[in-house]
Amino acid sequence: MPLDIAGARHLHSGKVRDLYEVDGGNLLMVASDRISAYDFSLSPGIPDKGEILTRMSTWWFDQLADVVPNHVVSMSVPDQVRGRALLVEKLDMFPVECVVRGYLSGSGA
């Protein structure tokens, strides 16, 4: 169910994230606590999952900032979604999905 966020209009809900249109032509991307497995959303969610996903994403965006540009504009978001949302640039989507299942192992050499 979409959140009622002042100054934001709900556009789309995916399996895990919700998109809201905000002023300035940007989007507010909110990570939820919902669980998705094999294209299905499961209940109940995992507490704080949205915040953890956002932290992991921002870490990777920071690590790769000098290598490839990204859509992140700011982490300054409404208090209601602070910690689990990003202000992002509205771009044309390139419809590709890549799913990797498994694990990493070995020495990495």
Q: What is the pTM of this model?
A: 0.83
DSSP codes, 76-91: ---GGGTTSEEEEE--
Q: What share of the chain is helix, strand, coil (3-state, %, to 5)?
A: 20, 30, 55
Q: Chain-wide mean pLDDT for the chain?
A: 91
Nearest alpha-carbon partner for 21 in 89, 102, 99? 89
Burial class (CB in 10 A: 0-12, 13-18, 19+), 107: exposed
What lies within 8 Å, CB to CB, of 20 at 6+ separation is 2, 3, 5, 8, 9, 10, 11, 27, 28, 30
The predicted pLDDT at position 23 comes to 83
Looking at residue 108, its pLDDT comes to 61
Element (H, E) at 59: helix 49-63
Q: Please write down the long-range contacts of 44-47, taking CB distance under 8 Å and 24 or more positions apart.
A: none
Number of residues that this document lists for the chain: 109
pLDDT tens-digit readout, 6-15:
999 999 999 8
Give me the pLDDT at residue 109, please: 56
CATH 3.90.1150.10 fits 9-89, yes or no: no
pLDDT of 101 reads 78
